[in-house]
Amino acid sequence: MHRSEWDVIIVGGGSAGLSAALMLGRSRRRVLVIDGGEPRNRFSAHMHGVLGHDHSPPLDLLAAGRAELTRYDDVVIESGTVVSATPLDVDDIGFDVVLETGERHTARRMLVATGLRDELPDIPGLTEQWGRNAALCPYCDGWEVRDRRIAVIATDAANTHQAQLMRQLSPHVTFYSQGVSLPDAARVGLEARGIAIESRTAVEVVGDERGGLRGIRLDDGTEHDADSIFVAPRPVPNDRLLSDLRARSIRQNGVNWVLVDASGRTNVRGLWAAGNIATAQSSVPVAMAAGNLAGSDINGDLVEEDVREAVVARQRDNG
C-alpha cells in the first residue's frame, strides 16, 4: 500500500494548477495545492482573449477558481513556496515535498505548474511599465492600444513578427532594432508596411509624473513619444524542482523546456508539468487546458494503480 498523505501535490496555483485541482477534486482525490501567489500576469489590471472573462482582472479569475474548489472536500490550497521535492523509495511512486517553512508533505503524484518569470531587457524604466504600458502579447494587450503610437523594442530578429502583429492594430509602429541584425526579408517587410525602423539604441523608457508612459529616450538624447511598448522578455521557467528530479528537457532558443507529452507527463514516474512551465506559448486558456488534461491523466494513472493494488489485496485475501 502506498503511504502518502496526499494523492496529488500541485505546486503552483495559477490557471494550470487550479484547473488540474478541479479535475482531481471532482475525482475525490486528496489534493494539496501549494501556491506562491505570483501568477505571471499579476502586473496587469485586465486580461484579454479569455472567453467569458475578457477584460476582467486576472486575479479575480484565480480567486473565483479557488472559491469553486471549496466545494470539493478533499482539496486544500495552501500559500507557500516549495523548495524541494524528492522521490519516495523505489517501491512506492511518489514524492516528499518540503516548503520554505520546513513543512513536509508526501504525495503519490506531483504536478508542477509553477509558470515562468519574464526577464526583461535591461532598459531603465521598463520594469515600472511592465503589465501596464509595456506588454509582450499582441493578442492579450494589443487591441486596447489600436491606432496608438507603438514602440516595439527588439531583443531578437524574431521581434519583427511582433512588430508586424502590432501593425495589424495600428499604423503608428516603430521598431527599435537595438543593434540586432535583421534579415533582408524582415527589413523589407517592415518597410513595406510602413513600420519605422529606428537604429539608434533605446536607452530609457520615460514615464510621466502619474506613472504613465511618456516615451523612449535614445542614445543621442532624442526622445520619441510612445503610448505603448511591446517587447519579448526572455522566459525563465521556474523549473528547479523538475531539474532536481531529473525531468528531461529540451533546449530551444537558449531556454530549457521540460519535455512533456500531450497530458503533461514527464519522463519521471509520477511527475507531471503543465502550463507556462512547459511552454512559452501559454495563455490563460491554454494553461487551463493543460492543467485540465494533466489533472484527468493523473487521476487515470492513480486509478490504474488502485486497480493493481486491489487485485493484489484480493489475491492475498483469497490465500
- Residue 208: count other Cβ atoms within 10 Å of its Cβ: 9
Note whether 235 binds ligand FAD by CB under 6 A. no
Compare residues 190 and 232 and give the one whose CB is closer to ligand FAD.
Answer: 232
Answer for the pair 260, 266: CB distance below 8 angstroms, yes or no.
yes
CA 37 to CA 57: how far, in whole Å?
Answer: 15
Note whether 145 binds ligand FAD by CB under 6 A. no
Interface with ligand FAD by CB under 6 A: which range of 158-166, 186-194, 217-225, 271-279? Answer: 271-279
Which positions from 276 through 305 interact with ligand FAD, judged by CB under 6 A?
Answer: 276-277, 282-285, 287
Which positions from 5 through 24 interact with ligand FAD, judged by CB under 6 A?
Answer: 11-17
Q: Amino acid letter at 91?
A: D
Compare residues 66 and 187 and give the one whose CB is closer to ligand FAD.
Answer: 66
Interface with ligand FAD by CB under 6 A: which range of 103-111, 114-122, 177-185, 303-311? Answer: 114-122
Compare residues 135 and 154 and give the one whose CB is closer to ligand FAD.
Answer: 135
Answer for the pair 149, 126: CB distance below 8 angstroms, yes or no.
no
Residue 138 CA: distances (Å) to CA of 47, 79, 258: 12, 32, 26
Biggest CA-to-CA distance, the chain = 87
Report in angstroms how near the CB of residue 42 gets to ligand FAD at its nearest.
Answer: 8
Note whether 140 binds ligand FAD by CB under 6 A. yes
Note whether 43 binds ligand FAD by CB under 6 A. yes
Answer for the pair 61, 35: CB distance below 8 angstroms, yes or no.
no
Q: Which of 56, 59, 74, 81 is close enough to bind ligand FAD by CB under 6 A?
A: 81
Size of the site for ligand FAD (CB under 6 A): 40
Report in angstroms how near the CB of residue 219 gets to ligand FAD at its nearest.
Answer: 27
Report in angstroms how near the CB of residue 19 gets to ligand FAD at its nearest.
Answer: 8
Report in angstroms how near the CB of residue 290 gets to ligand FAD at its nearest.
Answer: 7
Interface with ligand FAD by CB under 6 A: which range of 46-54, 145-153, 181-189, 297-305? Answer: 46-54
Interface with ligand FAD by CB under 6 A: which range of 30-38, 159-167, 174-182, 264-272? Answer: 30-38
Which positions from 236 through 265 interact with ligand FAD, judged by CB under 6 A?
Answer: 238
Binding stretches for ligand FAD (CB under 6 A) = 11-17, 34-41, 43-44, 47-50, 81-82, 113-115, 118, 131, 135-136, 140, 238, 275-277, 282-285, 287
